[in-house]
Amino acid sequence: MKFIVSSNLLLKQLQSISGVLSTNNALPILDNFLFELRENELQVSASDLETTMTARLTVDMAEDEGMVAIPAKLLLDTLKTFADIPVTLDIDKENFGVSLIAGEGKYRLAGQNGEEYPATEQIEGGNGFKIEADILHNAISKTIFAASTDELRPTMTGIFCEINSEGLTFVATDAHKLVRYRRKDITTEESASFILPKKPMNQLKNTLVADDVPVEIEFNEKNARFVFKNLTMTCRLIDGKYPNYMAVIPPENPNKLTLDRSPFLNAIRRVSLFSNQTTYQVKFKIAGTELLLKAEDQDYSSEAEERLNCHFEGNDMQIGFNSKFMLEMLNSLETDQVVMEMSEPNRAGLILPLDSEDKDEDILMLVMPVMLNQQ
């Protein structure tokens, strides 16, 4: 088994799938990339058992078909040192030794039998739909930060995906904050829902190109597969029932605060530097056309306050929020203005973008209040 390929092309494809690799693999062979040569097409794969990612590329020359597992870190580190030159990989089918020839250099790596590499899960009899890469990237980016890190509640550590005749919905929550991202222009006749794990979704987000390349999504009860351009990612779904997120979204919020997003974001960022580093609490005092942001850390005798002009409909109120959560949410939005809808100081507040350019997109963010310090 022998082939010649551009070093930069091979490095780029290996880097695009290397995020799947784990540092503490149950199977030692998973520290390797799997190389499969079929005619002039090379298929390279990385896996951690839960997720497998594959890239396909065309080689310049190929002799003999076959498969071999090659140490991932050593190969990546070696390829990074080359300029864009042709590299030759020659694999001994008897002992799976790999000879890498590049320019005047020759390097030898100890490969393993590719037949021992775990097979990718097949998705048979599943459902599917298509979505543009930039929309999927947007959906993941705007929700994944809200997913829980609590392994005792595994269903909340992923992104809930629901699709039906009315549209596509992505939801993530950790019980303190929640994001719901909806698309009205992506539908299916049959209703379906599943929970996507965070690690492969982060990998997918980093790999997706920000254009309208179609992504094919197929899924069954256990796995989901994403196919776009020359890449395929298959991941195991999180088993379990997702919490009823609709029950925590308050239906009526008579107090509406409208602000320019960028000054609001920067003001919270500054004031939060003076907040208690356990609660990150920032107090909102809203009266008339003025919002007063205030934070203090009594342990260090530091405090800050900042006033912002706003448009407010409702009764004057004081409410506290975790500034880290607020910053994450405001950072992920792109509109010039945002609306905060609230009912009571002890009930969740909603953050909504104002005048979104995309009429098929619907974003709702929810953040739970924190109890105000007694002053």
78 band by pLDDT with thresholds 50, 70 and 90: very high
Q: What is the pLDDT of residues 290-342, one digit of tens each?
A: 999 999 998 888 999 999 999 999 999 999 999 999 999 999 999 999 999 99
Which of the four pLDDT bands, split at 50, 70 and 90, describes residue 115? very high
CA distance 228 to 217: 9
Convert 66-102 to b/e letters by CB count within 10 Å (16 or more is b).
bbbbbbbebbbebbeebeeebbebbbeeeebebebeb
Angle at 94 between CA 92 and CA 100, to 5 degrees: 15
Residues 6+ apart with CB under 8 A from 165: 187, 188, 189, 191
What span, in angstroms and rounded, lies between the C-alpha atoms of 243 and 173?
Answer: 9
Domain coordinates in residue numbering, the chain: 2-116, 127-246, 250-370
If one counts every other C-beta atom within 10 angstroms of the C-beta of residue 150, the result is 11
Answer whether residue 247 shows pLDDT above 90.
yes
Kindly report the average pLDDT of the chain as a whole number: 94
For a pLDDT cut of 70, what percent of the chain falls above it? Answer: 99
- Helix or strand run (H / E) with residue 301: none
Instruction: Indicate if 250-370 has the same CATH topology as 127-246.
Output: yes
- Eight-state DSSP code of residue 222: S
Kindly list the strands in the beta sheet with 302-309, ordered across the sheet, starting from the edge strand earlier in the chain.
Answer: 302-309, 290-297, 281-287, 317-322, 369-370
- Output the 3-class SS for 237-298: CCCCCCCCHHHHCCCCCCEEEEEEHHHHHHHHHHHHCCCCCCCCEEEEEEECCEEEEEEEEC
pLDDT exceeds 50 at position 344? yes
What amino acid is encoded at 22 in this protein? S
Residue with tokens 């997109």: 361
State residue 62's pLDDT score: 94
Residue 318 corresponds to which tokens in the numbers above? 């004081």
- For 81-92, what is the mean pLDDT? 95
Amino acid of residue 189: E
- At the topology level of CATH, where does 250-370 sit? DNA Polymerase III; Chain A, domain 2 (3.10.150)
293 and 269 Cβ atoms separated by less than 8 Å: no
Cα–Cα distance for residue pair 237/158, rounded to 1 Å? 9
Q: Which CATH architecture has domain 127-246?
A: Roll (3.10)
pLDDT at 323 (0 to 100): 96
CATH assignment, 2-116: 3.10.150.10
To which H or E segment does residue 27 belong? none
Beta strands in 94-176 (DSSP E): 97-102, 105-110, 112-113, 127-132, 159-164, 167-173
- Residue 273 pLDDT more than 80? yes
Q: What is the largest CA-CA distance in the chain?
A: 80
The pLDDT tens digits for 161-190 are 999 999 999 999 999 999 999 999 999 999
Mean pLDDT of 133-146: 95
Q: What distances in angstroms separate CA 111 from CA 13, 17, 30, 32, 94, one per listed residue?
A: 19, 19, 12, 8, 11
Whether the Cβ atoms of residue 311 and residue 335 lie closer than 8 Å to each other:
no
pLDDT in tens, 193-211: 999 999 999 999 999 876 7
The CA distance from 323 to 370, in Å, is: 10
What is the rounded distance in angstroms from the CA atom of residue 248 to the CA atom of residue 176? 11
Q: Please enumerate in sequence order all residues whose Cβ is within 8 A of that of 246, keeping only pairs 6 or more positions apart, or say none.
A: none
Q: With bands split at pLDDT 50, 70 and 90, how would you rate the model's confidence at 375?
A: very low
Within 8 A by CB and 6+ apart from 259, the residues are: 291, 308, 310, 311, 337, 338, 340
Cβ-based burial of 345 (10 A; exposed 0-12, middle 13-18, buried ≥19): middle
Enumerate residues 6+ apart whose C-beta is below 8 A from 92: 98, 99
**In the predicted model, is pLDDT for residue 374 greater than 60?**
no
Q: What is the pLDDT of residue 25?
A: 86
